Amino acid sequence: MRSRSTRPALCALALAALLVASGCSSSSGGTGTSTNAGAASGVTYTAAEVAAATGAYHVTPLFAVPKKLPRKYRFAFLSPGLSYPYFATWSDGMKAAAKFYGVDLDQADLNFKYDTELDQYKQLAVKGPQVVGSQPMNDATYQQARRDGVKTVLIDGTFKDVPHFGVDNQQVGKLAVDTLVPAAKARMAAAWKGRKVDVVGLTSPNCSDCDARVKASFAEAEAQLGIPAAHTTMLTPQGQDPTTSAGSTFNDFLTGHPDDAVLVVSYGDEPVIGSINAAKAAGRGGDVLAVSNGGDSAARLALRDPSDKSMLVAAVDFQPYAEGWNWVEAAIATAMGKPFATFSTQRVLTSANVDRYYPKDGTE
């Protein structure tokens, strides 16, 4: 995922992804307000009703949405790039939530051209949204929205005093390595015994959230595996396609470190998948273990691929569909002048459980 949480060239994000994630226990929108207040009277949608409506995604609401809204709301969201699976899944969650709660939703695709954000916002603003959202936010767009009287809510991003929620970078960076530890220790005691083990973290240009996730992974690798900072390398692939660019960058690293074993982490999914592809192409599959962050469709496909099984241990699931659904709830709360709760994820996808959590992959 990237939840920039997760954009290519990017900052995921997953997250949550993310969430940022999904960037997932960070929120300036609320302080853990109960999501089932008023449920007994049937005035608001309960957590059970939301879980039932979201099926296998089993979304936990961030705000108890009234079954009768104060008015007909319209929201606008500026997606970083709908060609990216993580952000496309955000979009799916948002559209489903908008339909469920009875609000109108317009989306724009920045296609990772962030300098167009203000122009894209202006095109959506003519429809009169009450709330606009994005992941990144620039000052020009922020100031224009304020002049228009439009409130803002960010997902997996922060800007000034804008309410936000998303992936907790420290938590998911640490969780990625904790997930790697058993497999890494087994390799270090056997096939990798006596070899130098590097930790490679793939980040994105100008993405502090991405860097934070990777650095958290580095610190946890030292704490849990004794891999010193001198054996960690942060790589910053260039280009809009995170899979291809990461593959090329990681291939260069492998070429420069022909005798090393490598643990791979990242802010998202696609850079890890690109690295795995590069390792396979170079005949270095036995030298690599990886965990991705995000749990988007690309990661889930890779977890089901037998040729990736020896390298891809797991994907931390920022639950991007839930992040997208939750953004609509946060937008409703913000429009109503109410707080919303924090987003959190502890779920890790593996080849053994991915079908249980995402049984409809490939059928929708």
| Residue 56 vs residues 94, 97, 251, 297, 357: alpha-carbon distances, Å | 16, 15, 37, 14, 6
Q: Which residues contact 244 (CB under 8 A, 6 or more apart)?
A: 274
pLDDT at 362: 64
In the chain the domains, ranked by start, together with CATH numbers, are 26-166 (3.40.50.2300), 169-317+347-357 (3.40.50.2300)
Q: For 197, list phi and psi in degrees, rounded to 5.
A: -115, 120
Q: How far apart are CA 352 and CA 147, in angstroms?
A: 51
**Mean per-residue pLDDT, 13-22:** 32
Residue 43 pLDDT greater than 70, yes or no: yes
**Mean per-residue pLDDT, 65-81:** 97
pLDDT tier, 28 (very low <50, low <70, confident <90, very high otherwise): very low
Q: In this structure, are residues 24 and 341 in contact, taking their beta carbons and an 8 Å threshold?
A: no
pLDDT at 180: 97
Q: In this structure, are residues 156 and 166 in contact, taking their beta carbons and an 8 Å threshold?
A: yes
Render pLDDT for 148-188 as a digit per residue (tens, 0 to 9). Answer: 999 999 998 889 999 999 888 999 999 999 999 999 999 99
pLDDT at 11: 37
With 0-12 CB in 10 A as exposed, 13-18 as middle and 19+ as buried, what is 345?
A: buried
